[in-house]
Amino acid sequence: MSKLWVAVVALSVVGAAVGGAYLAGRVQGRAAGFAASEAAHQEATRKVNDELRRLRRASDETAARLLEESAARADLERALSDEIANDPESGRAGIGSDGLRRLDSIR
């Protein structure tokens, strides 16, 4: 019976070694997979941040153009208001030839 116990112990030791090696390989494989996943995540995050920066610049440029256009419109509205206030024919039901000339000069 002692040979049987030696064989059982030997098989147990070999099984434990093989199982340990298998588990170690799986852990290393998972670690490598995790590292690859982390690198892919960082690359995707970098791309999204680059796109957000590009969109922010485009938004800032559009806002600046909008402010310029708003200022130009305000100037035009002031000029039209001044022309209306200074129009000697403002009581008429239509625009006279002098009024048309003044309006054309504003453009």
Q: Domain map of the chain by residue range?
A: 18-106
- Give per-residue pLDDT as tens, 29-39: 666 667 778 88
- Contact at 8 Å (CB) between 98 and 89? yes
Which three-class secondary structure state does DSSP give residue 93?
Answer: coil
pTM for the model stands at 0.47
With a cut of 80, say whether residue 92 has pLDDT above it: no
Burial-class residue 85 by CB neighbours within 10 Å (0-12, 13-18, 19+): exposed
- Give per-residue pLDDT as tens, 38-90: 888 888 999 999 999 999 999 999 999 999 999 999 999 998 888 777 777 66
Going from the C-alpha of 86 to that of each of 24, 61, 77, 91, 98, the distances in angstroms are 92, 38, 14, 12, 12
Q: Cα separation of 26 and 67, whole Å?
A: 60
